[in-house]
């Protein structure tokens, strides 16, 4: 009798532990319940404004330019685009400044847009 009770309690604790582990794993691999919009190397990329449908200040936010193009965000949202790995959570501009990703790669992933420069 005591053995059956012990086995039931042990089974419930094991199940509870497993559920907690799965919950933590799920949270760790997402942000606020969102799935990443892209992955790049070891980073999962999240666009909080775009994915949550939040309003975004309508202005072009320039990231950088080269001889031919200007790379920009279609609205003021760089402060809500995250690169998340197992070791860190950084914003898109920090990832770009640290040369983790290039402006061309950001364009290819659909995170920034680009337009042909107009010569003055």
Closest C-alpha to 63, from 112, 119, 8: 112
Q: State which H helix or E strand residue 64 sits in.
A: strand 61-65
- What is the pLDDT at residue 39? 92
Within its chain, how far is the Cα of 95 from the centroid? Answer: 12
Mean pLDDT of 67-83: 94
- What is the pLDDT at residue 68? 92
Question: Is the CB of residue 97 less than 8 Å from the CB of residue 80?
Answer: no
- What is the pLDDT at residue 24? 60
pTM over 0.85: no
Token pair for 118: 């107009």
- Please report the sign of the dihedral spanned by the C-alpha atoms of residue 100, residue 102, residue 105, residue 109: positive
Q: Is the pLDDT of residue 29 over 60?
A: no
Residue with tokens 């999240």: 46
- 41 Cβ partners below 8 Å, 6+ apart? 100
Three-point CA angle 47, 106, 54, nearest 5°:
20
């Amino acid at each position: 009798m005591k053995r059956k009770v012990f086995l039931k309690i042990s089974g419930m604790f094991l199940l509870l532990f497993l559920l907690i582990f799965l919950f933590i794993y799920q949270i760790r691999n997402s942000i606020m319940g969102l799935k990443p919009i892209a992955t790049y190397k070891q980073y999962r990329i999240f666009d909080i404004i775009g994915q949550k449908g939040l309003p975004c200040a309508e202005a072009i936010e320039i990231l950088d330019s080269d001889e031919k193009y200007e790379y920009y965000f279609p609205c003021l949202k760089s402060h809500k685009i995250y690169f998340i790995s197992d070791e860190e959570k950084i914003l898109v501009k920090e990832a770009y400044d640290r040369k983790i990703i290039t402006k061309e790669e950001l364009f290819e992933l659909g995170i920034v847009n680009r337009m042909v420069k107009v010569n003055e």
